[in-house]
Amino acid sequence: MNPRDRLTSAGKRWTDPAEALAQQVTERVVDLVVGALDVNELVARVDVNAIISRVDIDAVLRKIDLNELLGQVDVNELAQRIDVAGLVEKADIGAIIAQSSGGMAREAVDAVRYRTAGLDQVVDGWVRVLLRRKDAAPPPLTVQAGP
């Protein structure tokens, strides 16, 4: 054995136990520090809004390749996982259709009434011009609720 190897071997006899000791001490210190920390208080001190305001969401979004992301999604498998029959069973489709179609019919009737009333005003305007009527239209009646 040459003198250099002997020196290295002697060094390792000292450094290996020292390294193991240092690692044990570090782990113990970390355990003590973590145990002493009140995480809730620490989180409470963090101003999340300030952190979020610093993040450039647009820049992050620009980096995301949505096409590539969507390309990795197996839509067919996803669709197969959806319990359509269960969803239909839970949803009252009849009531939804009745509500939406009823709303559409009501809007259509209101539109017809509004347009017809507008035409009434147009015709009334022509008559007023023809008759050279200057007086204002009569005030509306206070209609009692019907039977």
Partner 1 sequence: MTVQPALRYQGHYAGAVSRLASFVIDIVVSAGIFCVALAAISYGAQVITGNLVSWNHSTGVVAGLFAAWELAYFGFSWATNGRTLGMAVFGIRVVRTDGAVLEPRHATVRALVFPFSFLFCGLGFLGILVQREHRALHDLAAGSAVVYAWTTRAPGSGQEA
Chain centroid to CA 100:
26
Q: Which residues bind partner 1 (CB under 8 A)?
A: 99, 102-103, 106, 109-110, 112-114, 116-117, 119-121, 123-124, 127, 131, 135, 137-138, 140-147
CB of 114 to partner 1, least distance (A): 5
* DSSP labels, 33-98: HHHH--HHHHHHHS-HHHHHHHS-HHHHHHH--HHHHHHHS-HHHHHHHS-HHHHHHHS-HHHHHH
Tell whether the torsion through CA atoms of 119, 121, 127 and 130 is positive or negative.
negative
Question: For partner 1, which is the closer residue by CB, 33 or 122?
Answer: 122
Question: For partner 1, which is the closer residue by CB, 47 or 135?
Answer: 135
CB of 111 to partner 1, least distance (A): 9
Q: 15: which residues sit within 8 A by CB, 6+ positions away?
A: none
Tell whether the torsion through CA atoms of 45, 46, 50 and 54 is positive or negative.
positive
Question: For partner 1, which is the closer residue by CB, 19 or 110?
Answer: 110
CB of 121 to partner 1, least distance (A): 7
CB of 135 to partner 1, least distance (A): 8
Question: For partner 1, which is the closer residue by CB, 16 or 126?
Answer: 126
